Amino acid sequence: MTTIDVTPKPLLSRGMVAVTSAQFLSAFGDSALFFATLGVLIQKAYPLWAHSTLQMLFIVAYVVLAPFVGQIADSFSKGRVMMFANAIKLLGAAIIIGGLDPFFGYTLVGIGATAYSPAKYGILGEITHGDQLVKANGLIEASTLAAILVGSLVGGWLVDISPYLALGGCCAVYAGAVVANCYIPKLQAARPGVPWNLKQMVGRFAHSCVVLWRDEGTRMSLVGTSLFWGAGITLRFLLIIWVPVALHIEGLLTPTMLNAMVAVGIVIGAAAAAKWITLKTVSRCIPAGILLGIGVIVFVLQGNLAFSYVILMVVGIFGGFFIVPLNTLLQDRGKQTVGAGNAVAVQNFGENTAMLLMLGLYTLAVKAGMPPVVLGCVFGGLLAVSISSLWIVQLIRSKNNQSV
């Protein structure tokens, strides 16, 4: 039987520094590559619908490969899985810069990201323990969102000079992530020896879904994180159509900067959650999710640029405070039941399915001619009501459990 060392270790161990560094570089590359590839599509005069198709191809990889990547993460040393996944991202970026099909190259990057995610989160439970896991998650989320912020800005700046210069930078960053992965200690596989039978893997994934959805805590985590990331991807596109109408500013620079303010807020919220929330007090984060939806409504109803930056940073703070404890709860309980890698794979499946669904609804609303302000109010209201319902159910169940 595989044993995991539970000896207390400092949070910033060699392994944790390597994981955080690799995650920053990998997320930086992902964020910059999106803008770099969009630059290629614009340069080659692809139609506008191709832009959203590019994003959806990235997301589809998470949904289709969800039954398999959890077992990959748990069957091998997670640091080596992360290294292999970053190498796939590097290959995808190289294909795009080489002038080959950008959709194929970007799909490869999505595949690499899909394989990377369960290993990235699953390894935290192996190199940290107890309440240190919340802090580790906060550090990873802060690193990720800082990378998204900087990657977006640098990627957008380089694309204005040359899309291929931006692509070259992405290749260099992915290569750096591969090198950083080499410094992660080679840990034992969490669940070695599991058969690689396609039918059985799908069955085990379905079983993992059932186990996690039956557990009250992990069900709350799955629903909450799916709502959060679905909302995040929708807000990105909402800003693009809201800014010209509400602020009378054309171009993509202002929407990009507003998105950056959300990322800044999430970093702050993630740090606050790591300090004030523990595994025993995870439910305290849910009101922040409700305020997130209300914040979106307040945002779309005003039309001042400076106020927009402030509101979106506050929205980001609520988001960071909401997402980090839910991620931690899922990893902790997932490790005890179906394996951390499988748990994160189930989470990715739910989150990316929600993202595809919300993007689909957003697209239908835009095609139907719904004004951006109305769309934002509906979107924020549904988000607030959904998370409120999640909170009410959680409070009722907690009360019932206490009375038994």
Could you give the 3-state DSSP secondary structure of residue 310? helix
Whether this prediction's pTM lies above 0.85 is answered by: no
Token pair of 2, please? 């595989």
- Asked whether the beta carbons of 87 and 362 are under 8 A apart, the reply is no
Q: What is the pLDDT at residue 2?
A: 42
* Cα separation, 225 vs 382, whole angstroms: 15
* Cα separation, 250 vs 304, whole angstroms: 15
Q: What is the pLDDT at residue 301?
A: 92
Give the contacts of 247 (CB within 8 A, at least 6 positions apart).
254, 303, 305, 308
* Residue given tokens 């171009």 in the structure block: 251
* Cα separation, 325 vs 321, whole angstroms: 7
- pLDDT averaged over consecutive 10-residue blocks of the chain (404 residues)? 48 73 87 83 74 78 77 72 87 88 89 80 68 72 78 79 87 90 72 70 82 81 86 83 86 77 85 80 84 92 91 92 83 73 76 85 81 90 88 76 60
Token pair of 53, please? 């198709």
Give the contacts of 30 (CB within 8 A, at least 6 positions apart).
89, 109, 113, 148, 151
Torsion, CA 231, CA 237, CA 240, CA 246, rounded to 10: -40
Q: What is the pLDDT at residue 310?
A: 93
Q: Phi and psi (nearest 5°) for 187?
A: -90, 160
Could you give the 3-state DSSP secondary structure of residue 234? helix
Q: What is the pLDDT at residue 286?
A: 86
* Residue given tokens 């969102």 in the structure block: 145
Could you give the 3-state DSSP secondary structure of residue 228? helix
Q: What is the pLDDT at residue 4?
A: 43
Token pair of 353, please? 């399915």
- Asked whether the beta carbons of 392 and 294 are under 8 A apart, the reply is no
What domains are defined for the chain? 14-403 (1.20.1250.20)
* Cα separation, 324 vs 273, whole angstroms: 7
Could you give the 3-state DSSP secondary structure of residue 193? coil
* Cα separation, 149 vs 167, whole angstroms: 17
* Cα separation, 298 vs 291, whole angstroms: 10
Q: What is the pLDDT at residue 99?
A: 79
* Residue given tokens 């005890």 in the structure block: 336
* Residue given tokens 């186990």 in the structure block: 211
The residue among 134, 150, 159, 160 whose CA lies nearest residue 282 is: 134
SS3 content of the chain, % helix, strand, coil (to 5): 85, 0, 15
C-alpha neighbours within 13 Å on the C-beta side of residue 86: 31
Token pair of 179, please? 């090198």
Q: Phi and psi (nearest 5°) for 286?
A: -65, -40
The residue among 202, 171, 39, 195 whose CA lies nearest residue 108 is: 171
